[in-house]
């Protein structure tokens, strides 16, 4: 392995360390997960100015700036949103020498050390050829840091600040506490699915949760002018854009739904409006899935949250699909969903007062426990194939990138 060297200018070059999540548990196919994660991370860092060298060693990814115009803060935030990474640290590399490590810790973490009241040093020695043990490194650096910053007290059980030192093959790395990463699996390793994206709170969260399992997504949105406004469509595209830091580039298939809803209102009993509308949505989402090679559908349904989300109603909408329907929110309550929506940045857009097609012709007393045979019989009054064909022909496709 090529040894990393540090001159006067490069010794203080800050970089980013990304620790891998559950993919370290993979077996013979682990290299495929790591390769995909590296590709995803490189793609994200392309938007952070300059050029970063991204590579993997010892279950850690390294993002090393290669030019002065690299935005290390933007890169750090980008790394935190890449699925497959469990923690992210801004770190300073130095020579694998005890005095170089000490001086790097004193200089790099000086402001943080001055602001803290208590600290400890934690060292990890991945390079076992280093002449000091992890405990000896911690004691050596900790003792001198205490002398250099005498206001600090040593607290090995509950310190305000932990100084981390990692002795690895190429260099030693000094950093403060790590920040949580996105976790999960690299996008693209879980296959491809089509997610039904409305303008509400739930569907963006369900999309995020499936992306966290490594699923690459295509989005479908159903648009019903003049009953829904142009602002409602723009709201959905905004939600898709807010998801791109997590999900990567997205394609949104905007399917016109007005004719179908009006025909359902003319031909079907009112209490069945929502049930039959959902069946049309699932059919068309599956057609999109077939076109793009997706293997599943994703919805934001949560058991019992609304009348159309009883077990019988969910079974009714699933009845028209051959592909599996994934419902990552199925057992969650609204508070949990809202908490995730706030964390991923979609909540404020989701609550904008531009309603989607799901509220058009909402029945006063919806059927909550339908019998599938009855739903099929009522639906037989519609020319399902023709209605779907016309809607699919007029589908608008919008590309959304980070």
* pLDDT tens-digit series, residues 338-374: 999 999 999 999 999 887 777 767 778 888 899 999 9
pLDDT score at 4: 41
Locus of tokens 């402001």: 111
Residue 2 pLDDT level (bands cut at 50, 70, 90): very low
pLDDT at 268 (0 to 100)? 94
Please check whether residue 3 lies inside any domain of the structure: no
Lowest mean pLDDT among 17-26, 69-78, 244-253, 295-304: 17-26
What confidence tier does 49 reach under pLDDT thresholds 50, 70, 90?
confident
**CATH number of the domain bearing residue 124:** 3.30.2130.30
- CATH assignment of the domain containing 382: 3.40.50.620
pLDDT at residue 28, rounded to an integer: 87
C-alpha–C-alpha distance, residues 76 and 90, integer Å: 7
For residue 38 the two structure tokens come to: 């590296």
Q: Residue 368 has which token pair?
A: 């909550």
* Mean pLDDT calculated for residue range 101-111: 96
Q: Are residues 259 and 372 in the same domain?
A: yes
Q: How far apart are CA 127 and CA 132, in angstroms?
A: 10
Which of these three, 180, 215, 247, is where a domain ends? 180
Domain tally for the chain?
2
pLDDT band at 12 (very low <50, low <70, confident <90, very high): low
Q: For residue 1, what pLDDT is reported? A: 36
Mean pLDDT, to the nearest integer, of 234-242? 96
Answer yes or no: is pLDDT of 219 > 50. Answer: yes
Check whether residue 57 and residue 169 sit in a common domain: yes
Q: Is residue 9 part of a domain?
A: no
Residue 91, both tokens:
């770190």
- Predicted pLDDT at 178: 95
Whether pLDDT at 394 is above 80: yes
Percent of the chain with pLDDT strictly greater than 70: 97
Q: What are phi and psi of 381, to 5 degrees?
A: -70, -10
Distance CA 314, CA 333 (A): 17
Q: According to the model, what pLDDT value does residue 402 have?
A: 78
Contacts of 281 (CB under 8 A, 6+ apart): 196, 220, 222, 257, 317
Mean pLDDT of the chain: 93
If 0-12 CB within 10 Å is exposed, 13-18 middle and 19+ buried, where does residue 388 land? middle
Range of the domain at 272: 192-400
* Partners of 121 in beta bridges: 163
Mean pLDDT, residues 172-198 taken together = 96
Three-state secondary-structure class, residue 206: helix
Query: What is the spatial distance between Cα 247 and Cα 43, in angstroms, rounded to a whole number?
Result: 12
Of 129, 157, 180, the domain-final residue: 180
Q: What is the mean pLDDT of residues 67-79?
A: 93
């Amino acid at each position: 392995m090529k040894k990393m060297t540090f001159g006067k200018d490069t010794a203080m070059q800050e970089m980013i360390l990304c620790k891998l999540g559950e993919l370290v548990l993979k077996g013979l196919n682990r290299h495929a997960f790591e390769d995909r994660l590296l590709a995803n991370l490189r793609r994200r860092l392309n938007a952070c100015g300059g050029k970063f060298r991204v590579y993997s060693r010892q279950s850690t990814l390294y993002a090393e700036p290669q030019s002065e115009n690299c935005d290390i803060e933007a890169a750090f935030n980008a790394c935190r949103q890449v699925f497959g990474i469990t923690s992210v640290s801004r770190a300073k590399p130095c020579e694998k020498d005890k005095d170089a490590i000490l001086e790097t810790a004193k200089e790099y973490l000086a402001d943080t050390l001055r602001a803290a009241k208590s600290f400890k040093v934690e060292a990890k020695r991945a390079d076992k050829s280093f002449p000091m043990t992890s405990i000896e490194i911690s004691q050596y650096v900790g003792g001198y840091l205490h002398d250099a910053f005498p206001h600090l007290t040593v607290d090995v059980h509950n310190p305000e600040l932990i100084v981390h030192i990692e002795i690895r093959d190429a260099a030693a790395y000094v950093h403060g506490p790590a920040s949580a990463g996105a976790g999960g699996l690299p996008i693209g390793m879980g296959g491809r699915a089509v997610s039904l994206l409305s303008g509400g709170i739930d569907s963006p969260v369900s999309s995020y949760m499936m992306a966290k399992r490594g699923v690459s997504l295509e989005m479908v949105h159903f648009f019903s002018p003049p009953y829904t406004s142009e602002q409602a469509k723009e709201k959905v595209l905004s939600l898709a854009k807010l998801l791109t830091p997590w999900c990567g580039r997205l394609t949104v298939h905007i399917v016109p739904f007005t004719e179908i809803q009006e025909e359902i209102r003319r031909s079907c009993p009112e209490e069945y409006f929502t049930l039959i509308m959902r069946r049309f949505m699932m059919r068309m989402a599956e057609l999109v899935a077939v076109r793009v090679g997706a293997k599943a559908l994703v919805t934001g349904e949560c058991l019992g949250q609304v009348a159309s989300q009883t077990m019988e109603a969910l079974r009714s909408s699933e009845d028209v699909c051959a592909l599996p329907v994934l419902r990552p929110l199925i057992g969650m309550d609204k508070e949990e969903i809202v908490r995730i929506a706030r964390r991923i940045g979609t909540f404020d857009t989701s609550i904008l007062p531009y309603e989607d097609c799901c509220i058009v012709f909402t029945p006063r007393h919806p059927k909550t426990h339908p019998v599938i045979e009855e739903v099929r019989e009522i639906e037989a009054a519609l020319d399902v194939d023709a209605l779907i064909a016309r809607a699919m022909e007029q589908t608008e496709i919008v590309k959304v990138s980070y």
